[in-house]
Amino acid sequence: METTRFRPDDLVSSGGGSKYLGFVPVAIMDYQDKSEDFDWADVFIEVTLQIEHSQYPRRMQVCGSYDKEPNGNIKSSSLLKRVYYLFDAIGFQGGPDKIGNWVDADGEAISDIARILSNEHATNPLEPKFEYYAYVYKKEPTKEGKSYTEVYPRLVPNTEKGRAELESYIAFLKGKNLIKEFDESTAPNGVSQPTATAGEPTRF
């Protein structure tokens, strides 16, 4: 009796790799504040994303340390830019005050930033809306030989304008060699490296 292998549509790869890599529509499921877990992090917001048509969540990390003036006030930095990339995308009007503490749009202190964001800027898990567009890629292998799947820490609205903006920005980063992707097709002996779903936070 002849038979064929079972491979559901959601396991069919595209372009030589997972169809859930590259530019994908995503829904924001929740947020976690992990800044207390890392001594070096003034900010560590982990955003749980659901990729459209995928059952597996991905996590985007907005994290790093602020650059500060001699008096301790924060100043413009790559971290501050990433924070506002996220907040502008989701429509959150709060942010850090001049010393880096979270405040709302009225300047009132926020004691639990993750709770506020999850309550006000996440989708209904029963009917997720894929309102954002993200870039998901495999990083070059670490010294241990693992290649991590990462979400670049910038979301845009899932609109024609937003998608064009993100695709142009990622192309710019690749051109500057600031995103280093792992190409399985060029792995030694054609063997894929072990992969994991999260790695060292992206800080550029």
DSSP letter string, 122-191: S--TTS----EEEEEEEBPP-TTS-EEEEE-S--EESSHHHHHHHHHHHHHHHHTT-S-B--GGGSGGGP
Q: Is residue 201 part of a domain?
A: no
Nearest Cα neighbor of 52 from 28, 29, 30, 26 is 26
pLDDT surpassing 90 at residue 2: no
pLDDT tens, 19-47? Answer: 789 999 999 999 999 999 999 999 999 99
Nearest Cα neighbor of 147 from 198, 190, 189, 186 is 198
In Å, what is the CA distance from 83 to each residue of 21, 45, 101, 153, 155?
23, 9, 13, 9, 11
Q: Is residue 79 part of a domain?
A: yes
pLDDT tens, 146-204? Answer: 778 999 999 999 999 999 999 999 999 999 999 888 876 555 544 444 444 444 454 44
The answer to whether 41 and 35 are in contact (CB under 8 A) is yes
**CB within 8 A of 188, min separation 6: which ones?**
none
Nearest Cα neighbor of 204 from 176, 182, 183, 184 is 176
Q: Is residue 1 part of a domain?
A: no
Q: Is residue 78 part of a domain?
A: yes
Q: Is residue 2 part of a domain?
A: no
Q: Is residue 3 part of a domain?
A: no
- Domain extent, residue 162, equals 9-196
What pTM does this model have?
A: 0.81
Domain count, the chain: 1
